[in-house]
Copies of this chain bind each other. A is one copy, B any other.
Amino acid sequence: MASDEVEGTSPLPHADEHITLIGLGAIGVSFLALHLTYSSATVSVYDPRPDLEEHIQAVLPLYLPSSVDVASLISVGRLNLCASLEEACLAATIVQEQGPENVGFKQKTWSEVIRYVAPTCHLWSSTSGIPASKQLEHLSTTDDKHLEYPPTTDDIQASSARQRLLIVHPFNPPHIMPLLELVPSPHTTPAEVSFAKSYFTALRSGHRPITIHRESAGFVANRLSFILFREACHLVNEGVASAEEIDEVVRASLGPRWAMAGPFKMYGFGGGNKGLRGFLDNIGESIGEVWRDAGTITMDDDAWKDKVVEQTTQAYGLPSAEDIRVRDGGLRAVVKAQEEQERVARHGGGQGGQ
């Protein structure tokens, strides 16, 4: 996140937690580095890939502060590479999964996990799109508010798991982007949401957990992004501007704007001393015209896809390691600018206004 250095004097939090990470792809390794760097929790990891140890040795150091040695973490028992899901779960106080994005995998994983872990274990999924309620809907058809008497062991286990599972959705690249969307299902208890929020806040990694009140496709960030992306693809398809030109437009306008304040706060500025109401009164007609005129391309149609892929690849080529390095350096600078902005907003002064 914002800094590779761990805060000086205060001890790292969560010494009593034992986190089990399931699935060590890009998101999994990024979370692994986060827990290892900013907490003192014990971490166990499980991934069925046969080269798990080599993979962790190769990729994890890219996300860790240079002072931290992976082999030492393993030898002191801070990091445990496990050969089975059961072994990984045995001591878990938190299980966080970031495995393949399909419902079948999630459901099968949770069915096993809840047999292995204590009934108080926190259950987190870092899926980018499969709601918590869907990940457990296979477990039992009995609504946990109306358990039959006497309830079966399976019913009790399912009901308890439903109350403990929530989504912890990061934003790519997760080691830099501050967002963590916490999305409970209708069954998740408020205590579980609070626990996840306080867990990530205590890390002081710069991550910002934000609770989403209801499940919906794409949660919030991806949902807004996909909807803007649809219109961007429509504009390319109609020849209004090229993919590269649209990227430049966004980078020169909406990106900086929304890095500093979201749409509601910014449009509140747009209405002057009448705030957002003034903005809607003044510009509402133009906004309505755009809404009526919005593109309606669908994923079933390949013509626009070929066009946007061709233009994007022609403009940038395929992403290189150097491209990612430049992107990440830039993202860090913007997050740092946000932190400075917050400091100025809290304490005033320091930054030239004009």
Q: State the Cβ distance, A334 to closest chain B Cβ, in Å.
A: 4
In the complex, what distance in Å separates the CA atom of A263 from the CA atom of B228? 8
Docked-complex contact B299 and A335, CB < 8 angstroms: no
Task: Evaluate contact between A241 and B226: CB separation under 8 angstroms.
Answer: no
Residue interface bits A172-187, CB-to-B below 8 A is 1, else 0: 1001011101000000
Assess whether B337 is in contact with A333, with CB atoms less than 8 Å apart. Answer: yes
A-B contact pairs, 10 of them (CB 8 A): A177-B253, A179-B252, A220-B241, A247-B262, A251-B258, A251-B259, A255-B262, A275-B316, A329-B341, A330-B338
Most buried by B among A223, A236, A275, A309: A223
Contacting residues, chain B, for A253 (C-beta < 8 A)? 171, 177-179, 221, 225
Looking at chain A's contact residues, is the secondary structure mostly helix, strand, loop, or mixed?
A: helix
Contact among B210, B250, B268 for A258, CB-based, below 8 A: B250
Return A177 CB to nearest CB of chain B, in Å: 6
Give Cα A335–Cα B247 distance, bound, in whole angstroms: 15
A280: B residues at CB distance < 8 A: 305, 309
CA distance A322 to B213 in the complex (A): 32
Contact B335 A256, beta carbon cutoff 8 Å: yes
Q: Is A298 an interface residue (CB 8 A)?
A: yes
The residues of B that contact A62 with a CB separation of less than 8 Å are 354
Please, how many angstroms separate the alpha-carbon atoms of A63 and B226 in the complex? 37
Interface: A50 (CB within 8 A): no
B255 near A260 with CB under 8 A, answer yes
The proximity string for A residues 87-118 relative to B, scoring 1 for CB distances below 8 Å and 0 otherwise, is 00000000000000100000000000000000
- Indicate if the CB atoms of A353 and B325 lie closer than 8 Å: yes
Question: Are A251 and B260 closer than 8 Å at their CB atoms?
Answer: yes
Q: Using A250-B263, A268-B312 as known contacts, say yes or no to A213 and B227 having CB atoms under 8 A apart.
A: no
> How far, in angstroms, from A181 to B253 measured CA to CA in the complex?
10
Task: Say yes or no: is A288 at the interface (Cβ < 8 Å to chain B).
Answer: yes
A224 at the binding interface (Cβ < 8 Å)? yes
Whether, in the assembled complex, A272 has its beta carbon less than 8 Å from a beta carbon of chain B, the answer is: yes
A283 to chain B, nearest CB (A): 8
A246 touches B264 (CB 8 A): yes
**Min distance, Cβ A321 to any Cβ of chain B, angstroms:** 9
Q: Which residue of B lies closest to A297 (CB)?
A: B291
Is A262 a contact of B251 with CB atoms below 8 Å?
yes
Contact A220 B208 (CB under 8 A): no
Residues of B with C-beta under 8 A to A57: none
Minimum Cβ distance to chain B for residue A278 (Å): 9
Q: Mark A267-292, 1 if CB is under 8 A from B, else 0.
A: 11110111111001001111111110
Check if A231 is an interface residue, CB within 8 A of chain B: yes
* A331 contacts the other chain (CB 8 A): yes
Contact B251 A338 (CB under 8 A): yes
Whether a CB of chain B sits under 8 angstroms from the CB of A12 is no
Of the 9-residue stretches A75-83, A136-144, A152-160, A344-352, which lies at the interface with chain B? A344-352
